[in-house]
Structure 1
Amino acid sequence: MDAKVPLNPFVETKVRMWYRLHNKKRNGFMNRADFIEMTDSFIKEFKLDAEMAEEIRSWLVNGWTALIKFMKNSADDPKTSIPLDKIPTVSMVAEKLSKDGTITEDEYVKAYAESLQIDPSPFPACFSEMVSFFFKVFDTDKDGYLIEKDMVRGWRCFGIDNAKAVKAVFADLDPTGSGKVDRDTYVGAWMEYMTGMNKSAPIAKHFTPDIL
């Protein structure tokens, strides 16, 4: 698919929502310091050891660079070769954040579109790996499940302060009322949010502009 093709409007709306939730200062732009602040909030909230702290920095502070690295690694296999020249905005955003430059919401959305629309897209595998890592952070008792309290704590670190909305998402992910959500369900919900078209899916249904 040509990376110049616009995102589906519904998907774009959700990506913009994700950017705005991350943008704790609500000032319309973000830089490296914002992602460092977010990272530090996770380290403090979950009392992460040095190894986990370093990994969370790699995902949040250097996330776009990590995506490019993921693509380069994939390119070692001719069958999954990814044309790096098709992602100029991804490269630009990664470069800006590495030097404390500022990225705008529109740049973020354009970079996301490039990563999603090239063929083969690295986004699903890379994003799933990232969400799985955060699941591990939130699974504080390491039993393979999330509980509502820890999901609320984790999403607050992302800048999502609306506990009522987070609890509503948790309830949808746990339709039997077991009080627990497994990794596959959690990762699948985020993949649906970032790429899917279901307006009734748990995260899309509860995360709308009015919660900001």
Structure 2
Amino acid sequence: MDPEEQELLNDYRYRNYSSVIEKALRNFESSSEWADLISSLGKLNKALQSNLRYSLLPRRLVISKRLAQCLHPALPSGVHLKALETYEIIFKIVGTKWLAKDLFLYSCGLFPLLAHAAMSVRPVLLGLYEKYFLPLQKLLLPSLQAFVVGLLPGLEEGSEIYDRVTVCLSPWGSGPASHKHSDICGEARGGD
């Protein structure tokens, strides 16, 4: 357990926040239809936003599992969009530091999504990548291979998201900033 997390467990407000989130997560256990999932996600969103003081979320593992379940290919795009809304709330709350540390938790649900996402879901997913993942730069390295594989379905010629996906795959562009891109790619290959 992270020392910061250990310290927060002594804070009664954080424990209350944790209780609110646990209660919201219990709603998923009784969800039997996709409409129930949307309702459960709405309650989780409200719980997450109930205390914006803490950038370290309690019950992160369970939250990430529930979100990944809500991105299952058999579920309709409405559930996917509501889950992406929840991811956005989480990423705003946790910031770069905790997103980078917990990237493996959130990426297991997000990275496979593009392959089966509806047309309405794809731009929202790419928006999350552009706004929260690409700014991580070197902190994205541990997940870079999975990130790239997750983006490959968007490289279909003539796809409405083709241009955005190519930007995600070369986020540092050309010019002086491209040296950063080269450095990161070199590190990913184990060279330089």
**TM-score computed with the length of structure 2 as normaliser:** 0.30
Does 1 or 2 have the higher relative contact order (CA < 8 Å, sep 6+)? 1
Greater share of helix: 2
Greater share of strand: 1
**TM-score computed with the length of structure 1 as normaliser:** 0.28
